[in-house]
Amino acid sequence: MSQPDIPTGNDLPQDPPQVSLSLYSHGLDLEQTLTSGQAFSWKQTANGRWRGWIDRKPCLVWSQGDALRAVGPGLTSELVSRYFGLDVSMPEVFSTFPNDEWLDRARAFAPGLRILRQEPWEALCNFICSSLKQIVQIEQINHKLRLTFGDPVGEGLHSFPEPMRLAQATDAQLRECRLGFRARHLYVAARQVASSEVSLDRIGSMTTPQAREALRQIQGVGEKVANCILLFAYGRKEAFPIDVWVERVLRQLYFNGSSRVSRERLRDFADSHFGACRGYAQQFLFHWIRKDPKAPSLVKIESPKKKRMKRTPKAAEIMPPPQINQGRGAIHGLRDG
């Protein structure tokens, strides 16, 4: 059954503009790209087309011969090309890859996989919500957030909610969207963005190290989530997210299954081994190891844990968390001091 916030052909206005772009030299494969864990608001129709959102606009996209076609209100060639990364020279990307048997196998499995360039706010929310969640569960959260907090934009369609709307939500409302403990993170992150404490636009103009550090000031954003946003929203090809899957790939295929290699060593290896466009390499490996039945079976390897030093707790850690009271929609005690 189709989710109501995913546009169908009948949901779109009559005779919406159609965009047609050549894929002759790019090789984009929609299925490989849209099912690779980058975006969470796309569904395939019975006739093989894909329905979802580009730049907050509902649309249908499909491949026809060597052309990519997209239909939706307000769509332009520039928006569609940018979203699907058609402005990126894939031969140049591939030329930066190392001579690597595993990466070659990953590329051969999904040669049409490409990196999307998504709207930063929605990408931020999606990856904050991704902690300990499977892809289908992140899709369900995205759907519930749209349905609960988004604005109606057509019959059965809802936009992704703006930061201010989520900043005014209650804890109960957010938890109804299957967020669990992530409700706290999303609420505080929404307040940070809505208040301009963090500017996603300014982050886009920073260097990658600066942008990564700025993103990590947002509640619920660690190194992995920051790198996901840099790669999948800002198009930073050098960002290399290391999640559970990728960490297992690195340990088992490149370090003989060793559990003694630190995460810092894994990071240094990825940065030096996979080249300037290592974000693409990461996505090929991530998709391949999850989807290819012929890929090596990964075993769970416990990564080394940092030793914790005993210390005297601060007063702020002993006292009850402060209450944040800014109107009817506020959540009490969400943000630590």
Band of residue 239 on the pLDDT scale cut at 50, 70, 90: very high
Q: Which range among 59-68, 187-196, 304-313, 319-328 shows the weakest confidence by mean pLDDT?
A: 319-328
The pLDDT of residue 319 = 31
Label the pairing between strands 57-64 and 67-71.
Answer: antiparallel
Burial class (CB in 10 A: 0-12, 13-18, 19+), 65: exposed
pTM for this predicted structure = 0.85
Question: In sequence order, what are the residues at sequence separation of 6 or more whose Cβ sits closer than 8 angstroms to the Cβ of residue 246?
Answer: 282, 285, 286
How many other CB atoms are there within 10 angstroms of residue 243's CB atom?
Answer: 18
Q: Are 248 and 259 in contact (CB under 8 A)?
A: no
CA–CA dist 4, 148 (Å, integer): 12
Which residues on neighbouring strands pair with residue 67, listed in sequence order? 22, 64
User: Shortest CA distance to 187 belongs to which of 20, 331, 5, 13?
Assistant: 331
Q: What is the pLDDT of residues 110-134, one digit of tens each?
A: 999 999 999 999 999 999 999 888 9
CA–CA dist 334, 322 (Å, integer): 8
The pLDDT of residue 325 = 35
Band of residue 328 on the pLDDT scale cut at 50, 70, 90: very low
Whether residue 238 is predicted with pLDDT greater than 90 in this model: the reply is yes
Amino acid in the structure at residue 199: S
Tokens of 291: 């989807």
Label the pairing between strands 50-54 and 43-44.
Answer: antiparallel
The SS3 call for residue 8 is coil
The pLDDT of residue 313 = 41
Residue found under tokens 């070659």: 104
The pLDDT of residue 326 = 38
How many other CB atoms are there within 10 angstroms of residue 206's CB atom?
Answer: 14
Band of residue 79 on the pLDDT scale cut at 50, 70, 90: very high
Overall average pLDDT of the 30-47 stretch: 95
**Number of helical H runs and strand E runs in the chain:** 16, 7
Whether residue 312 is predicted with pLDDT greater than 90 in this model: the reply is no
The pLDDT of residue 131 = 87
The pLDDT of residue 301 = 66
CA–CA dist 46, 105 (Å, integer): 30
Residue found under tokens 């299954």: 257
Which residues on neighbouring strands pair with residue 22, listed in sequence order? 67
Amino acid in the structure at residue 3: Q
The SS3 call for residue 294 is coil
Band of residue 16 on the pLDDT scale cut at 50, 70, 90: low
